[in-house]
Amino acid sequence: LAKTTQPISMDSYEGQEVNITCSHNNIATNDYITWYQQFPSQGPRFIIQGYKTKVTNEVASLFIPADRKSSTLSLPRVSLSDTAVYYCLVGDMGGGSTLGRLYFGRGTQLTVWP
């Protein structure tokens, strides 16, 4: 079970770039890194996934250093609607026990202020 550590909370202002770092020191060779976003009383929503280096989509970027022991979710120019809990998950997507890659942890509560 690859454990992850994230800050409990972060604050930002509208228009700023937000970087949320997740530590996963015991990440395994086959493990991918996946980030989800959750609004109150809703199910989590997939944001981005990566294995190494940098991944970018229309919503966010994911930076993964060479040792893969951490990853950083970058949200460019946040707005009030980006206020949510962000989860970092690490696990083997290729079968076997699913418990490791489905451990959401407490996530990071991001609050964006006007």
Residue 48, token pair as written in the block: 């981005």
Q: Which of residues 18 and 48 has its CB atom nearest to other proteins in the complex?
A: 48
**Alpha carbons 48 and 98: distance in angstroms, whole number:** 19
Pick 16 or 56: Cβ nearer other proteins: 56
User: Does residue 44 belong to the site contacting other proteins (CB under 8 A)?
Assistant: yes
- Whole-angstrom Cα distance, residue 53 to residue 103? 23
Given a contact cutoff of 8 angstroms between Cβ atoms, the answer to whether 22 and 6 are in contact is yes
Member of 5, 26, 97, 111 binding other proteins (CB under 8 A): 97
Query: Could you say whether residue 1 binds other proteins (CB under 8 A)?
Result: no
Choice between 8 and 66, CB closer to other proteins: 8
